[in-house]
Structure 1
Amino acid sequence: MSTPHHDTAPAVQMRRAVTGSLIGSSLEWYDYFLYGAASALVFNKIFFPSFDPLTGTLLAFLTFSVGFIVRPIGAAVAGHFGDRIGRKKVMLVTIVAMGTSTVLIGLLPTYATIGVAAPLMLVLIRIVQGLALGGEWGGGALMIAERAPAHRRGFLTSFVQVGASIGNLLSTGMLFVLSSLLTQDAFLSWGWRIPFLFSAVVVLVGLYVRLKMSETPAFHKLEEHGKASSNPVRDVIREQPLDLLRVMGIRAGADIMYYVLITFLLTYIADELGLPRTVGLLAAMIGATMQLFTYPLFAAISDRFGRRRLTIIGAIGAIVWMPFLFPLVDTGSTVVIIFAVLAGLVWHSAMYGVQAAWICELFDAKHRYSGASLGYQLAGIVGGSLAPTIAIGLLSLSDSTVPVTIYVCIALAIVAITAMLTRETRGIDLNPSVDSVPDELNGSPAS
């Protein structure tokens, strides 16, 4: 067993890890959420204008899904190199690729200018975005988790999740301001490009912060003792396949709920209820602001009471709440809509806030980057990638939100059941002494 000195990094390194992962995660998710919001508000009109509004939105969301589908490929590539050559080097590559692709979207000609080539180019750039993000989350989570003290790991690692809220807040905030200040024609003509071009600044800031980050103690031990895996993706699939499935089960339902609350509701509020697009954006902005605090709060609670318990409570609470969501949104009241979204996001926070620590704790150090990234991103395919598309399809087929509610509740039930079947990992040692474990660096209990 390691001593407290070896269990955590010096305070300055811990602060740099939290700051670097938080800022980097915020900037990466800014790019990604920006695309999701633009899919609901802009891309259906400028890249798929020959279709009716609902079909155009469906096609725009399909390009949104492409980014999710390739994320496991990015996770496998990033995990392979992150477990072999280090977490930090991979994270520098992901932020450059993500930011550059987002700037290119802001420079794309529209369908009216070059025809079908425009949406095709959009899909190609979206693929690059998805590959980059596929390797981003796992690296950011490990940079904190592998040097955090065990009794505060949930709280500190939750700042990777907070980055998602900051990115959402920045992206929806910029779209909200621009769509409020500009006319509809001006916004669709050139105003939507400004947030995408802003990623040029994002890349520079992200690079500066990440260059100052140091490698994690766990990887240093692997490297120093020659224990790094030569094929970590293969190893994690062979040695911990059930943990990959557990991560998918815990993750997917929370993703589905989130993207229905944030992405699908933007379209539903604007196109189905006929309300100004700023109503949905305002609800998303306030929700993202709230989650800056609820993610760390629930993660800190999990440091005391466990990751599993908080996840089960969040999933069951969300199931109870979902039948009230759309009736409240259908009132058309901005205040009521905001309340409905916030209430749902509280339950989501209980699930999502603890995930970074729990997922990292489930995997052995020698293939932890691969396992955490693959599990997280594979869940994204069945979760966030298809949720807005499925919700739009269910609404179109039934002309009712009831099937959408049932869909989300089934996904949340899977979260609760999977959490019940997943071991508690709170307080385990992620950096055991290599000398005491000569054949492998094992940072998790036996599966």
Structure 2
Amino acid sequence: MSTTEEPAAALPQATRQEERKVLAGTLVGTTIEWYDFFIYAQAAGLVLAGLYFAPLAQENAALAQIISWATLGISFLFRPLGAVVAGHLGDRLGRKKMLVFTLVTMGVATTLIGLLPTHAQIGVWAPILLVFFRILQGFSAGGEWGGAALMSVEHAPRDRRGYFGAYPQIGVPCGMILATGVMFLVTTSMSEEAFLAWGWRIPFLSSVLLIVVGYLIRRAVDESPVFKEMLLRKKESAAPLGQLFRHNSREVSLTALIFIANNAAGYLLIAFFSSYATRPVGEGGLGMDRGPVLLATIVAAFGWLLFTLFGGIISDRLGRIRTFQIGYVLLLVWAVPMFLLIETADILWFGVAAFVLTIGLGLSYGPQSALYAEMFPVNVRYSGVSIGYAIGAILGGAFAPLIAEVLLRETGTTTAIGLYIAVLCLVSLVAVSLVKETKGTNLRVEEAHQEYLRTHPEAKEQL
């Protein structure tokens, strides 16, 4: 990794309109992708156990819920595959087709879940198909993030990479706001019986409209010269995986470890909190009303959005490492007290617990795109950031709700969950502290472009 200052004009200066298109493309695309992902996460905590694992749910409701959480985690195992395939096909088919492909694949899988018959209707095929569609979601998510992150960071002014890189990051809380908001409207506009019978399908089926919107926006952005340049950059960056792990295995390992605590804590906010809070007391929950809990979760998601954007901005001043460290210290300190507040079963304290959590979440998520892009040399950057992110998600959020559920059942207290998150925060804090500050790193994009054009004359036609 080069650490010299890059020239002020490392890339041809894009117009403000083009920059806005890039930021809009990364934000809207990731928001739609994560809406689809989070709708499943919330449904897994609220309804899927009883509908798709019905025989088990009747005998052992706790085990059925654990298996429902497991279907949430299974998709993460396919994220690295999605990252690899997206990189390979992107080289051959172009960036536009892959961006649309990941968006449509996610949307189709989500829509089909909304149409999927339950166990009572088709028996064992119901959970089998549910897992299959969930795998498609994970595959799609794995191919999305790396390209969006690099697109934003590599086209940012050197002193604003953290801010630009925060845009694909805030797609996560935006997707959560959208998903939770739709779920809130559905649950509060009908009876519990109607929601369990058919209402829960509405958020999944709504994905059809989002696919159309996302496709139109991404098609418009792709017409920008910035996107065409990004297609060229993606081609040169798709180095063989062997080269990545031979020369940059340390960076891949560190990016994965840096992400695990943020991803685990984030998925507790996304899925576990509302499930635990609204579950009947007799089934190991707090028995809180679903509407207010979802509303409090939406408020917390707005906090996550603001603090993520703020984290990207201050990382341009304080540095990526220092911003991450502050975020993880806050998460570490808050992990146990947060659950003590949730245990009160008071909606006000529940909201406070969730909102304060988002401060540390945002500070340890906003600078991620910039940090990861600056950690890898250009020839392995795309594969490096995508695979490191995917592995970190497997080790962090993939099974965090499941682990939280098991800890709750085995210990009878949420304090064990808080300690679990605290340990992960300590691991991620140590990992990020092992990285030398990257702010100001020369990304060497223009040099790579010129070398690529010299060795691949046919590529000029694509510009």
User: What residue ranges of structure 1 are gaps of 5+ in the alignment?
Assistant: 442-447
Establish whether residue 159 from structure 1 lines up as the match of residue 167 from structure 2.
yes
Choose from 24, 49, 54 the match for 1:49. 54
2:282 maps to what in 1? none
Mapped partners of 2:32, 2:98: distance in 1? 16
Give the letter aligned to residue 32 of structure 2: L
- Looking at structure 2, the residues matched to 425 and 275 of structure 1 have their Cα atoms a distance apart, in angstroms, of 45
What is aligned with 1:444? none
Identity percentage of aligned residues: 35
1:84 shift after superposition: 6.4
Residue 34 of structure 1 pairs with residue 39 of structure 2: yes
Deviates further, 419-428 or 340-349: 419-428
In structure 2, do the counterparts of structure 1 residues 266 and 390 end up closer, same or farther at CA, with 3 Å as the change threshold? same
Structure 1 residue 323 and structure 2 residue 331: aligned?
Answer: no
Query: Equivalent residue of 2:172, what SS?
Result: helix
AA at the equivalent of 2:47: V
Pick one of 272, 285, 298 that aligns with 1:264: 272
Report the Cα distance in structure 2 between the residues aligned to 1:171 and 1:96, rounded to whole angstroms.
17
Cα distance in 1 for residues equivalent to 2:235 and 2:100: 24
> How far apart are the structure 2 equivalents of 1:435 and 1:346?
37
Report what 2:72 is aligned to: 64
Matches within 5 A, 1:123-272: 123-214=131-222, 220=229, 223=232, 228=236, 231-271=239-279, 272=285
Q: Secondary structure at the match of 1:385?
A: coil
Letter in 1 for 2:158: A
Query: Residue 436 of structure 2: SS of its match in structure 1?
Result: coil
Instruction: State the shift of 1:117 in Å.
Output: 0.8
Is the CA contact 2:82–2:138 (under 8 Å) kept in the aligned structure 1?
yes
- 1:238-387 equivalent positions in 2, closer than 5 A: 238-271=246-279, 272-387=285-400
In 2, Cα distance between equivalents of 1:435 and 1:191: 52
In 2, distance between residues paired with 1:376 and 1:85? 24
Normalised by the length of structure 1, the TM-score is 0.93
Name the residue aligned to 1:445. none
Counterpart amino acid of residue 246 in structure 2:
R
Q: CA deviation at 1:262?
A: 2.9
Give the superposed CA RMSD: 2.3
User: Is the partner of 2:155 in helix, strand or coil?
Assistant: coil
Q: Provide closer, same or farther for how the CA distance between residues 138 and 5 of structure 1 changes in structure 2, counting only shifts above 3 A.
A: closer
Query: Are residues 168 and 378 of structure 1, via their aligned partners in 2, closer, same or farther at CA, if it must alter by over 3 Å?
Result: same
Pair 1:358–1:89, CA change in 2 (3 A): farther
2:41–2:270 contact (8 Å) kept in structure 1 = no
Equivalent residue letter for 1:92: V
Distance in 1 separating the partners of 2:448 and 2:85: 29
Q: Do the aligned partners of residues 6 and 269 (structure 1) sit closer, same or farther apart at CA in structure 2, a change above 3 Å counting?
A: same
Contact 2:35 2:176 in 1 (8 A): yes
Q: Is the 8 A contact 1:295 1:349 kept in 2?
A: yes
Aligned twin of 1:96: 104
- Distance in 2 of aligned mates of 1:221 and 1:49: 48
Which position in structure 2 is the counterpart of 1:114? Answer: 122
Deviation at 1:268, TM superposition (A): 1.5
State the secondary structure of the residue aligned to 2:47: helix
- 2:380 is matched by which residue type in structure 1? H
Between the aligned partners of 1:122 and 1:432, the Cα distance in structure 2 is: 42
**Which amino acid letter does the alignment assign opposite residue 415 of structure 2?**
V
Task: Between 100-109 and 268-277, report the one with greater CA deviation.
Answer: 268-277
Whether contact under 8 Å (2:154, 2:445) holds in the other structure is no
Kept after mapping to 2: 8 A contact 1:236/1:371? yes
The answer to whether the Cα contact below 8 Å between 1:102 and 1:199 also exists between their aligned partners in 2 is: yes
Counterpart CA distance in 2 for 1:29 and 1:18 is 16
2:418 corresponds in structure 1 to: 405
Distance, in Å, in 1 between the alignment partners of 2:160 and 2:425 is 27
The one-character-per-residue Cα deviations of 1:155-209 (angstroms, maximum 9, x if unpaired) are 1110111111111111111111111111111001111111111111111111111
Give, as a single letter, the amino acid of the residue that structure 2 aligns with 1:379.
G
The one-letter code matched in structure 1 to 2:395 is V
- TM-fit CA distance, 1:147: 0.8
Q: Could you tell me whether the CA contact under 8 Å between 1:82 and 1:369 is conserved in 2?
A: no
Equivalents in 2 of 1:71, 1:403: separation in Å? 28
